[in-house]
Amino acid sequence: MNKLTEFEKYVIEQKGTERPFSGEYVDHNAQGIYCCKKCEAPLYKSEHKFNAHCGWPAFDDEIAGAVDRTMDADGRRVEITCHQCGGHLGHVFEGERLTDKNIRHCVNSVSMVFKPVNELIQVATSTTEKATFGAGCFWCVEAIFAQLNGVLSVQSGYCGGDARDANYDAVCSGKTAHAEVVHITFDPNIISYETLLTVLFESHDPTTLNQQGNDKGPQYRSVIFAHNSQQVDAANAFIEYLTAQQIWPNPIVTQISAFDTFYAAESYHDDYFAKHGEQPYCQLVVKPKFNKVMAKFAEIRKR
């Protein structure tokens, strides 16, 4: 997650609105992709943009699955938010007949960051992949994977449940279907998925059902959310290998599920161990595990 300014927080996290005609992208017409300012998820293509003369950037289409819609509490307008992180974008209007698609996404410039075509071409030449793991409290798991060379980003969040329950209080109740997870972007040319699995199983106990240490509940379950069939095969093969090695006296209970949707955790969870390492839980639980795993994988740790 990108660090936001106070005004960006006001608009993106508190659902504020920038003044009309004040935004950077009102009259912007370069070729490229408009992405979420908070999480950089692609939202709109430049060919979707048109001049609605309304004072804010306007788009008559979106990248498939990128934008969520929610009716405002007063029932008068429909809010649009980033599907990946939930950041506020603006509102969507239909029936104005401004374009053939008859729809207008009215978006705050401050909610977006633009990626020009030349930058997208550079990104396209470098392969990245995703991995999503649950292994107990995400504060610890995020801290570990963020240190690995080849890991480009790690985001704490929730997976395996519905959007309406994707918040910390609901998940911690143990009554939702979510697991606390880390959502990892990595470069497979530097670090393999199998290496990530090795670190995963070294950093938690995969034999305790819905529990890691004193943290108990289904949200703490051991789970791998596979993004493709290759990851399913790799995870199954890895678990079969570990089982044959009889590393643990009890059977491995790690779930392997198809990845569906990741819901980013609240911003105060970001880099939690790095920011709050002196707190008792971090000192007693996170730090010993972090130090143990870092010592084990010192050769692949970022310099």
Once rounded to an integer, what is the mean pLDDT over residues 193-213?
95
Boundary of a domain, candidates 119, 142, 176: 119
Is the Cβ–Cβ distance between 18 and 108 less than 8 Å?
A: yes
In this structure, the answer to whether residues 221 and 293 fall within a common structural domain is: yes
Residue 1 lies in a domain: no
Tell me if residue 137 is catalytic: yes
In this structure, the answer to whether residues 146 and 252 fall within a common structural domain is: yes
Once rounded to an integer, what is the mean pLDDT over residues 119-137?
76
Once rounded to an integer, what is the mean pLDDT over residues 86-97?
95
- Asked whether residue 60 carries a pLDDT value surpassing 70, the answer given is yes
In this structure, the answer to whether residues 172 and 25 fall within a common structural domain is: no
State how far the Cα of 218 lies from the Cα of 88, in Å rounded to an integer: 30
Boundary of a domain, candidates 56, 88, 119: 119
- Asked whether residue 127 carries a pLDDT value surpassing 80, the answer given is no
In this structure, the answer to whether residues 150 and 88 fall within a common structural domain is: no
CA 296 to chain centre: 27
Q: How many domains does the chain have?
A: 2
In this structure, the answer to whether residues 292 and 151 fall within a common structural domain is: yes
In this structure, the answer to whether residues 54 and 92 fall within a common structural domain is: yes
Torsion sign, CA atoms 52, 58, 64, 67: negative
In this structure, the answer to whether residues 151 and 291 fall within a common structural domain is: yes
Supply the pTM of this predicted model: 0.59
Once rounded to an integer, what is the mean pLDDT over residues 14-25?
96
Instruction: Provide the pLDDT for residue 16.
Output: 95
Q: Which domain holds residue 171?
A: 126-300
- Asked whether residue 123 carries a pLDDT value surpassing 50, the answer given is no
In this structure, the answer to whether residues 93 and 138 fall within a common structural domain is: no
Apex 277 CA angle, 198 and 274, nearest 5: 65
- Asked whether residue 120 carries a pLDDT value surpassing 70, the answer given is no
State how far the Cα of 57 lies from the Cα of 26, in Å rounded to an integer: 5
The residue annotated as part of the active site, out of 82, 137, 140, 282, is 137
